Amino acid sequence: MDIKSVGKNAFAMPLTSPAFPMGPYRFCDREFLIITYRTDMDRLREIVPEPLQVEEPLVHYEFIRMQDSTGFGDYTESGQVIPVSFNGVRGSYTLQMYLDDHPPIAGGRELWGFPKKLAQPTLKVHTDTLIGTLNYGPVRVATGTMGYKHRALDVAVQKDRLAGPNFLLKIIPHVDGNARVCELVRYYLEDIHMKGAWTGPASLELAQHALAPVAELPVLEIVEARHVIADLTLGLGEVVFDYLAQR
């Protein structure tokens, strides 16, 4: 392959058979169980990178079922998202996510900078309970439960919450091991079509694990729980802060 062809065809690895296709990426019947809990404010401030600001000691623990996603297939993910503000505008910072499908792991990390790792999350209805779990290998590290569709929520309000800005810390190393890219990325969920939103009594249990440290942000109090189903498009991102430029 000549030099011009390499430059023309390269967008992801491997060059001749990329791990994921070019977007856009549309998700149909994407299902969320989001349990918001109160945690240690000092710990949050230690792990959230500036210029993002933490205003409340809250964490959204998410279990997300994606049974129909363009280019990525059928998979589930789970992890922690922290409410933050950037230049006075409220949004969410994704701290860590665990999922069971290679293309969205590769695409998420390479395109946006999603902090994704391979694990075994689930989200299922068992009789009268919506249950989310996360196993890292044979070890259970997270279990979330919510009463199934106990009360309907205002779908317009939940749509606005999904449509807010989201932030990621994208890190790509150079061949010498130093950071070649270290950027704060902002992205949005777009073309959101709500299918329903509900709440109910909820619980969340997190366990210690060396490589899936979700319990480093301890659960002090459950604040709310949401079960949301929507069709949406995962929009591509934009760089809003370059850490290497500050050096």
pLDDT value for 220 = 98
- The answer to whether residue 7 sits within a structural domain is no
Q: SS3 letters for 160-217?
A: HHHCCCEEEEEEEECCCCCEEEEEEEEECEEEEEEEEEEECCEEEEECCCCCCCHHHC
- The answer to whether residue 1 sits within a structural domain is no
- 117 an active-site residue? no
Catalytic residue of the set 4, 8, 116, 159: 116
Decide: 132 and 144 in contact? Cβ < 8 Å: yes
Q: SS3 letters for 43-87?
A: HHHHHCCCCCECCCCEEEEEEEEEEEECCCEEEEEEEEEEEEEEC
- The answer to whether residue 10 sits within a structural domain is no
- The answer to whether residue 167 sits within a structural domain is yes
- The answer to whether residue 16 sits within a structural domain is no
Structural domain tally of the chain?
Answer: 1
Predicted confidence pLDDT, tens digits, the chain (247 residues):
999 999 888 989 999 999 999 989 999 999 999 999 999 999 999 999 999 999 999 999 999 999 999 999 999 999 999 999 999 999 999 999 999 999 999 999 999 999 999 999 999 999 999 999 999 999 999 999 999 999 999 999 999 999 999 999 999 999 999 999 999 999 999 999 999 999 999 999 999 999 999 999 999 999 999 999 999 999 999 999 999 998 7
C-alpha pair distances (Å), 243 with each of 53, 72, 191, 231, 239 = 16, 30, 31, 34, 11
pLDDT value for 192 = 98
- The answer to whether residue 3 sits within a structural domain is no
CATH number at residue 102: 2.40.400.10
Model confidence, pTM: 0.96
- The answer to whether residue 96 sits within a structural domain is yes
Domain that holds residue 94: 22-246
pLDDT value for 247 = 75
